[in-house]
Amino acid sequence: MNKPVLAFDVYGTLIDTAGIAAQLRENVGDRATAFAQLWREKQLEYTFRRGLMQRYEIFPECTRRALEYCCAALDAPLDDASCERLLAAYRVLPAYPDALTALAALQDAGRRMFAFSNGIREDIESLLGHAGIADYFEDIVSVDEIGTFKPNPDVYRHFLQRASAEAADAWLISGNPFDVIGALATGMRAAWVRRSPAAVFDPWEFEPTATITSLVELDTKIATA
């Protein structure tokens, strides 16, 4: 087997989307956590719908429309200025605490690492730069380059082409089960980051190659897989 190539999902794996709750508290008070969770769920739902309908819009547009939905569904109307501040905050969300330590160890081990995301390149550069982890990645691979979303198999094939990697040598690392399943269905290996003991992996015909509770476990799992 060739040297493993690691494709790191960004939102929900390296970057904590729940971090938007801190900004939301200024607008919706103690409903911030519930608002943030619904916003994330609706954001992903819109990418799934657009992928199936072949009506691609960039990820920030899905994020904007999901925000509009939450405002209506939760009866929390926000003015334009507040919405723009929230959308700007989505480009500087915090990294998970284990990201920096894990990426440094993986770099020391000589791993090839890519950021691989539904997000557009500009936003991923902003997120990784703000988190102080941009320099660990060989490149950013965005679904925007082919105009569809995960888990379309074309997205994972595009990653393999961009990384000059064979599926058997490539690992997708993600906290999102749908993403893990998408990679496995395309012949890649995949590590599911199960950050909460309450998280459930979808009962499909696929199981993660490895399940970890922290990114710091990843290098050992790859070495022993």
17-89: same fold as 5-15+94-224? no
Query: Tell me, what amino acid is at 212?
Result: I
Instruction: Please give the Cα distance from 163 to 183 (Å, whole number).
Output: 14
pLDDT in tens, 172-206: 999 999 999 999 999 999 999 999 999 999 999 99
Q: What is the mean pLDDT of residues 29-56?
A: 97
pLDDT in tens, 122-149: 999 999 999 999 999 999 999 999 999 9
**CATH superfamily, with its number, for domain 17-89:** Putative phosphatase; domain 2 (1.10.150.240)
* Helix, strand, or coil (residue 144): helix
Instruction: Please give the Cα distance from 110 to 96 (Å, whole number).
Output: 22
Q: What is the mean pLDDT of residues 72-80?
A: 95
Which of 96, 133, 73 minimizes the C-alpha distance to 12?
96
Which of 224, 118, 129, 126 minimizes the C-alpha distance to 171?
224
Instruction: Please give the Cα distance from 11 to 30 (Å, whole number).
Output: 23
Q: How far is CA 34 from the centre of its chain?
A: 20
Q: Which residues pair with 116 in a beta bridge?
A: 141
Averaged pLDDT score across all residues of the chain: 97
Check pLDDT > 80 for residue 1.
no
CATH number assigned to the domain covering 5-15+94-224: 3.40.50.1000
Q: What is the mean pLDDT of residues 147-153?
A: 98
pLDDT for res 15: 98
**Domain-wise residue ranges, the chain:** 5-15+94-224, 17-89
pLDDT in tens, 20-29: 999 999 999 9
Active site residues per annotation: 9
